[in-house]
């Protein structure tokens, strides 16, 4: 049991990072190159922190409000960004993240300025985090098992084809933005309710790269990809602690190796191999059936 207690903080951190990675994953899955997640996480975290620290509202209410705020902001972002694609989308959403951070710095009466907000009551448990990750995984795997998964796949691969088949690009991109926003807002609130204090800097470039790296490492197709990626990105710094200053070097090397040898990401790379095998089996079965029916 002592083992579990020793690693519980790490597990909690992993679950929070997994939530951020899942928020980033939804948009990439649908072919939207938005990196707005840190900005939306910040909005969720500040919403929850203000409600909890200043108005004594419980985490339940705060998390619900933060989720709703994330959903609305995510949807609102999709409107001006509908005409942008690829790197332009990335740059525009990066500007959004910078704007949110700047707002957090300068709107002192509301956000507490540079020192941020402290004295947030800690109301988030490991179990609570687990339940929220599980609920998110459920929703996202539901998407993968219904038509939305196929549509997101199509939008990611070639949106002109999707449009020519009568599928609305605008609607499904807005849906991805809104879902990403809701997930980001929720986990922003959970983080605020876990760490006692939040400040603007923590939603900056470092979070952006960690979150993006988690999805690229783990994979963009399966829900488990970003979770595996978040696990790697969370535990690597801990495992490499003894390497001291060489840590970043080892991190970088490992990431480079995965990207070279498993370009689809860890989970997707493995699933791709499995799918190939299943396809082959299904083919063999189909041709067997054809042979059988061909025989008199």
Partner 1 sequence: MTLDIRNVGRRFGGVRAAEAVSMTIEPGQIVGLIGPNGAGKSTLVNLITGVLRLDSGSVVVDGQDVSEETVVGVSRAGVSRTFQNIRLLRESTVLENVALSLSRFAQVSTLACVLGLPSARSEQRDIAARAMAFLEQIGMASFAHYRASELSYGHQRRVEIARAIAQRPKYILLDEPVAGMNDVEAAELGELLRTFAGEGIGILLIEHNMGFVYSLCSRIYVLSTGKILAEGAPADVSRNQLVIDAYLGA
Radius of gyration of the chain (CA): 21
- Residue (38 or 265) nearer to partner 1, CB: 265
State in angstroms the smallest separation of the CB of 219 from partner 1.
12
- Residue (106 or 171) nearer to partner 1, CB: 171
State in angstroms the smallest separation of the CB of 20 from partner 1.
20
- Residue (238 or 275) nearer to partner 1, CB: 275
State in angstroms the smallest separation of the CB of 112 from partner 1.
35
Phi, psi of 112 (to 5 degrees): 80, 5
- Residue (55 or 147) nearer to partner 1, CB: 147
State in angstroms the smallest separation of the CB of 30 from partner 1.
13
Residues of this chain that interact with partner 1 (CB under 8 A) are 138-139, 141-143, 145-148, 150-151, 153-154, 157-158, 160-169, 175, 179, 278-280, 282-283, 286-287, 290
Our CA angle for 41, 116, 230, nearest 5°, is: 35
- Residue (58 or 287) nearer to partner 1, CB: 287
State in angstroms the smallest separation of the CB of 263 from partner 1.
12
């Amino acid at each position: 049991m002592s083992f579990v207690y020793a690693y519980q903080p790490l597990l909690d951190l992993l679950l929070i990072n997994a939530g951020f990675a899942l928020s980033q994953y939804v948009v990439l899955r649908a072919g939207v190159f938005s990196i707005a997640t840190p900005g939306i996480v910040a909005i969720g975290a500040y919403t929850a922190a203000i409600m909890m620290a200043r108005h004594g509202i419980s985490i339940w209410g705060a998390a619900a409000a933060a989720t709703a705020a994330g959903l609305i902001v995510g949807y609102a972002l999709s409107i001006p960004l509908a005409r942008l694609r690829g790197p332009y989308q990335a740059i525009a959403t990066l500007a959004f993240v910078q704007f949110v951070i700047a707002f957090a710095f300068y709107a002192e009466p509301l956000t507490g300025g540079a020192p941020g907000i402290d004295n947030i009551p800690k109301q988030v448990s490991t179990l609570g985090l687990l339940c929220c990750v599980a609920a998110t995984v459920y929703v996202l795997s539901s998407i993968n098992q219904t038509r939305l998964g196929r549509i997101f796949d199509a939008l990611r691969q070639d949106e002109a084809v999707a449009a020519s088949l009568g599928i609305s690009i605008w609607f499904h991109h807005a849906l991805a933005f809104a879902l990403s926003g809701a997930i980001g807002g929720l986990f922003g609130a959970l983080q605020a309710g876990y760490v006692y204090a939040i400040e603007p800097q923590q939603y900056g470039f470092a979070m952006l790269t960690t979150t993006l790296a988690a999805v690229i490492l783990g994979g963009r197709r399966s829900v488990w990809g970003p979770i595996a990626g978040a696990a790697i990105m969370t535990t690597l710094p801990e495992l490499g602690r003894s390497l001291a200053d060489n840590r970043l070097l080892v991190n970088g090397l490992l990431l480079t190796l995965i990207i070279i040898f498993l370009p689809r990401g860890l989970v997707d790379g493995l699933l791709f191999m499995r799918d190939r095998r299943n396809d082959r089996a299904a083919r063999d079965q189909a041709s067997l059936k054809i042979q059988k029916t061909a025989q008199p």
